């Protein structure tokens, strides 16, 4: 099974939004979960997977009315489709009023160009500014260690990867051989934030080699075993993507997962899809105790 992706569904009768979780099975994407989402969350989701039609996985119930598995593929009545009464259930995925919404962030009601896009775990969005793709972004990572006693040394790194190989940019090797990633170390600028970012990274998206398609942003605790430290002692971890010229925050993800026993974290990754670059919020903790083992884990998960 491939990585999980998301579609944005919209009920044309009520104007309400729905999230459809999809996974690939034998070359086609199938819906494996369905839930209502608030409009503010729908603003940052763009349906990226396109195929002539979508059906639900065989592990889910088909339409009660006609047995169809096609999204929006039957004419459910009000009795069988509670969304028309202001409620919903899984059967609504089959209702003729349900359609896949491919609109971009800026075209959704209530979103103003220039707003900071705030992601939740698992969400992804195109990396653009004023509706145009960016060739370069500045990435800021921040956190607040709450430990008492020996200081906690957290280090950010970038795993530059493709389907068959990867390289790691970190405090010991700050510039990727292609020049696509430059790590600036601790507390360099804090651009765009009220409190300075702990570490900043330049990503030149137009310099990423053709055989590399992901930039995975990670954080690990230096010497975590000897110091007995875990990320449960860290608060307010975030990643921000800035426009390099205006220093405006474009995308922000504040990690909200349970990292109590983790020693490192995969914060998120930028990835190339066709001519576009997108960013996905991950927020997954790991028990990797070094950047080397963490990079290996990223390669296994995301290549």
Highest-pLDDT range among 91-100, 223-232, 280-289:
280-289
Q: Is the pLDDT of residue 69 over 90?
A: yes
Predicted local confidence at residue 147, as pLDDT = 63
Q: How many CA atoms lie within 13 A of 179 on its CB side?
A: 4
Of 138, 249, 254, 252, nearest in space to 201 by CA: 138
* Rg for the chain, CA atoms, rounded: 21
Is the pLDDT higher at 232 or at 192? 232
Whether residue 127 contacts residue 133, with contact meaning beta carbons closer than 8 Å, is answered with yes
Asked whether 29 and 22 are in contact (CB, 8 A), the reply is yes
Burial class (CB in 10 A: 0-12, 13-18, 19+), 277: buried
Distance CA 61, CA 67 (A): 9
What's the confidence (pLDDT) of residue 233? 85
What integer is the mean pLDDT of 57-71? 89
pLDDT at 195: 44
* Comparison of pLDDT for 101 and 44, the residue scoring more: 101
User: What is residue 149's predicted lDDT score, i.e. its pLDDT?
Assistant: 65
Q: In percent, how much of the chain has pLDDT > 90?
A: 44
30, 33, 36, 40 alpha-carbon torsion, rounded to 10°: -70
pLDDT at 165 (0 to 100): 97
**Per the confidence metrics, is the pTM higher than 0.85?**
no
Q: Please give the pLDDT value at position 187.
A: 41
Q: What is the model's pLDDT at position 193?
A: 39
Burial of 154 (0-12, 13-18, 19+ CB in 10 A): buried
Contact 219, 229 (CB under 8 A): no
Q: What share of the chain is helix, strand, coil (3-state, %, to 5)?
A: 15, 40, 45
Average confidence (pLDDT) over 271-285: 92
Distance CA 145, CA 197 (A): 13
Instruction: Say how far apart CA 173 and CA 105 lie, in whole Å.
Output: 36
Give the chain's mean pLDDT: 84
pLDDT digits (tens, 9 = 90+) for 112-159: 556 788 888 888 888 988 778 899 999 999 988 876 667 788 999 999
Mean pLDDT of 5-17: 86
pLDDT digits (tens, 9 = 90+) for 178-212: 999 999 985 433 333 334 788 999 999 999 999 99
CA distance 233 to 145: 6
pLDDT in tens, 238-268: 999 999 988 899 999 999 767 888 999 999 9
Q: What is the mean pLDDT of residues 45-62?
A: 87
Q: Any idea what DSSP says for residue 16?
A: -
The answer to whether residue 109 scores a pLDDT higher than 60 is no
Per-residue pLDDT for 227 more than 80?
A: yes
C-alpha 216/C-alpha 208 separation (Å) is: 13
Cα distances (Å, whole numbers) of residue 124 to 13, 33, 127, 243, 258: 27, 17, 9, 17, 20
Alpha carbon distance 285, 282 (integer Å): 9
Task: Pick 106 or 248 by higher pLDDT.
Answer: 248
- What pLDDT was estimated at residue 110? 55
Q: Is the pLDDT of residue 302 over 70?
A: yes
| Alpha-carbon distances, residue 168 vs 181, 198, 209, 262, 286 (angstroms) | 10, 19, 14, 20, 17
What pLDDT score was predicted for residue 183? 96
Q: What is the pLDDT of residue 256?
A: 76
């Amino acid at each position: 099974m491939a990585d999980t992706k998301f579609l944005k569904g919209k009920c044309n009768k009520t104007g309400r939004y729905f999230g459809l979780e999809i996974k690939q099975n034998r070359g086609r994407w199938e819906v494996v979960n369905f839930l209502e989402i608030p409009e503010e969350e729908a603003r940052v989701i763009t349906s990226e997977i396109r195929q002539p039609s979508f059906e639900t996985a065989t592990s889910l119930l088909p339409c009660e009315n006609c047995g169809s598995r096609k999204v929006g593929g039957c004419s459910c009545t009000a009795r069988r489709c509670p969304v028309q009464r202001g409620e919903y259930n899984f059967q609504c995925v089959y209702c003729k009023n349900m359609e896949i919404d491919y609109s971009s962030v800026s075209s959704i009601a209530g979103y103003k160009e220039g707003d900071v896009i705030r992601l939740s775990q698992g969400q992804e969005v195109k990396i653009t500014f004023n509706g145009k793709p960016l060739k370069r972004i500045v990435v800021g990572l921040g956190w607040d260690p709450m430990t008492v006693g020996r200081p906690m040394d957290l280090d950010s790194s970038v795993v530059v990867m493709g389907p068959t190989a990867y390289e790691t940019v970190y405090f010991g090797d700050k510039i990727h051989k292609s020049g696509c990633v430059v790590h600036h170390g601790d507390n360099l600028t804090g651009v765009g934030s009220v409190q300075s970012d702990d570490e900043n990274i330049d990503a030149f998206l137009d310099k990423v080699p053709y055989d590399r398609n992901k930039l995975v942003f990670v954080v690990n605790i230096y010497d975590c075993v000897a110091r007995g430290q875990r990320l449960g002692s860290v608060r307010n971890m975030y990643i921000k993507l800035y426009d390099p010229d205006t220093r405006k925050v474009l995308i922000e993800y504040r990690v909200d997962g349970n990292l109590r026993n983790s020693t490192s974290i995969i914060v998120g990754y930028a990835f190339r899809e066709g001519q576009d670059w997108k960013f996905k919020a991950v927020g997954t903790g790991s028990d990797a105790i070094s950047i080397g083992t963490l990079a290996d884990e990223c390669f296994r998960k995301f290549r």
